[in-house]
Amino acid sequence: MRILRTVFISALMGVLMAWSVQAENLTIATVNNGDMIRMQKLTDDFTKKTGHTVEWVTLEENVLRQRVTTDISTKGGAFDIMTIGMYETPIWGKQGWLVPLDGLSADYDVDDLLPAMRSGLSADGTLYAAPFYGESSMIMYRTDLMEKAGMEMPEAPTWEFIRKAAAAMTDRDNDINGICLRGKAGWGEGGALITVTANSFGARWFDEDWNAQFDQPEWKEALTFFVDMMNESGPAGYATNGFNENLSLFQQGKCGMWIDATVAASFVTNPDDSTVADKVGFALAPNHEGVDKHANWLWAWALAIPAGSQKVDAAKEFIEWATSKDYIELVASKEGWANVPPGARTSLYENPNYKDIPFAKMTLESINLADPQNPTVKPVPYTGVQFVAIPEFAGIATEVSQEFSAVYAGQQTVDEALAKAQAITNDAMEAAGYR
């Protein structure tokens, strides 16, 4: 018996020693969105299962993009896992900057990832990032204010309806803005919203020969419409509002409508955080009257491993944990099904527990409606809905969005901003050899 006990203890010590040797401390860069903050709170589950610990670097969206881009392009090695999106992933994957996510376990079930998400996070058929959540954009609106205005939200409204409804719901005396939209500079902030708005007016970034299109009437119509509507019914200082700022305004009951990421639905309907949780309806992102294209985008916040990482195996374990079916179940058990990360897995939308969530159907419809190959009504030489999938786009679009934000702030006219956008874009494309 003593011999058996000694053998058992020795074996146990061997297991523990192996576990401790293999245990890693992972540094993860992520965005300060609610779903990611929730993930951080649940990381103890991952540590208990694997022994790996996690150090978080949580950043505002624009800052995150700058930090991870600088780090990976200079091979800085600051992060073991990066939170990136559909824009960066295929470009960086092709450049050899990311570790391919092959060899994931059978339990992970790669085939369960929504086709739009898997495709957008792959290059040449290889998956380089796993979607933590996927999103499109849609309308979130106050049902009580819409009713008070004597109007009824269609399932697929036009921009013209939205502007009229926004004006009707605006109540300056009670600090209620009819509509809250992103104006914050940054290609993935206000830049993303004005791009899909322009798409829905029939505008495009480039023609088939990579000539900038900001001198075309569709862009002027879209930008003028946006500015006029926001000046009529938007919040003061909207030129500096991004996702998080508008989320806060909506939760405080200060917005009649908000057009933004579908993932926001769980936050505006959460009674712990939102004063209007029981008064929110959903509709498809709008189109301009007569234009058969809606202002919805396609995006995933995803987890990827920089090439050259010394902790690839542990990093893959974390990615499997955070983007798995089991993680969805974990969130559901702790926070309820309305708060699970949406838009990444087919099985979620087949789950009877999720089907009754009020925004589930609209989220999936919005994701499926996005067409990265045909983002607007005219042919384009690029892929991407709210972005153009070329390496130069982030720099160009950030500059262009700064010019648009200056219009929102009343610092220049629509015509001035569009003329500058045209020059910025054509100069950059010529320098890069596209023209």
Report the SS3 class of residue 358.
coil
Of the ranges 4-8, 140-144, 176-180, which one carries the lowest mean pLDDT score?
4-8
Contact call for residues 292 and 65 (beta carbons, < 8 A): no
Contact call for residues 182 and 192 (beta carbons, < 8 A): yes
Provide the pLDDT for residue 22: 81
* Dihedral angle over CA of 112, 115, 119, 125, nearest 10: 60
Which pLDDT band, with edges at 50, 70 and 90, does 6 fall under?
very low
> What is the tens place of the pLDDT at every residue in 293-314?
999 999 999 999 999 899 999 9
Work out the average pLDDT over 146-160.
Answer: 97
Average pLDDT score over the chain:
94
Provide the pLDDT for residue 387: 96
Provide the pLDDT for residue 15: 41
Q: Is the predicted pLDDT of residue 3 greater than 80, yes or no?
A: no
Provide the pLDDT for residue 358: 94
Rounded Cα gap, residues 251 and 275, in angstroms: 6
Q: Indicate the domain borders of the chain.
A: 22-135+299-355, 137-296+365-431
Work out the average pLDDT over 375-397.
Answer: 95
Length of the chain measured in residues: 435
> What is the tens place of the pLDDT at every residue in 93-119?
999 999 999 989 999 999 999 999 999
Q: Which residue has the tokens 């009437």?
A: 217
Which pLDDT band, with edges at 50, 70 and 90, does 128 fall under?
very high
Q: Which has the higher per-residue pLDDT, 4 or 145?
A: 145
Of the ranges 155-159, 330-334, 368-372, 405-409, which one carries the lowest mean pLDDT score?
368-372
Residue range 137-296+365-431, CATH number = 3.40.190.10
22-135+299-355: CATH class:
alpha beta
Residues in Cβ contact with 217 at an 8 Å cutoff, skipping those fewer than 6 apart: none
Contact call for residues 395 and 171 (beta carbons, < 8 A): no
Query: Residue 45 is encoded by which pair of tokens?
Result: 């589950």
Give phi and psi for 140, each to the nearest 5: -110, 130
Angstrom distances, CA of residue 406 to CA of 103, 238, 400, 428: 48, 11, 10, 20
Q: Which of 197, 185, 204, 213 is nearest to 421 (CA)?
A: 213
Give phi and psi for 122, each to the nearest 5: -120, 160
Provide the pLDDT for residue 299: 95
> What is the tens place of the pLDDT at every residue in 25-81?
999 999 998 899 999 999 999 999 999 999 999 999 889 999 999 999 999 999 999
Q: Which residue has the tokens 């100069």?
A: 427
Work out the average pLDDT over 20-25.
Answer: 74
> What is the tens place of the pLDDT at every residue in 233-284?
999 999 999 999 999 999 999 999 999 999 999 999 999 999 999 999 999 9
Q: Is the predicted pLDDT of residue 205 greater than 90, yes or no?
A: yes
297 phi-psi bin (left φ>0, alpha ψ -120 to 50, beta other)? beta
Two domains, one topology: 22-135+299-355 and 137-296+365-431: yes
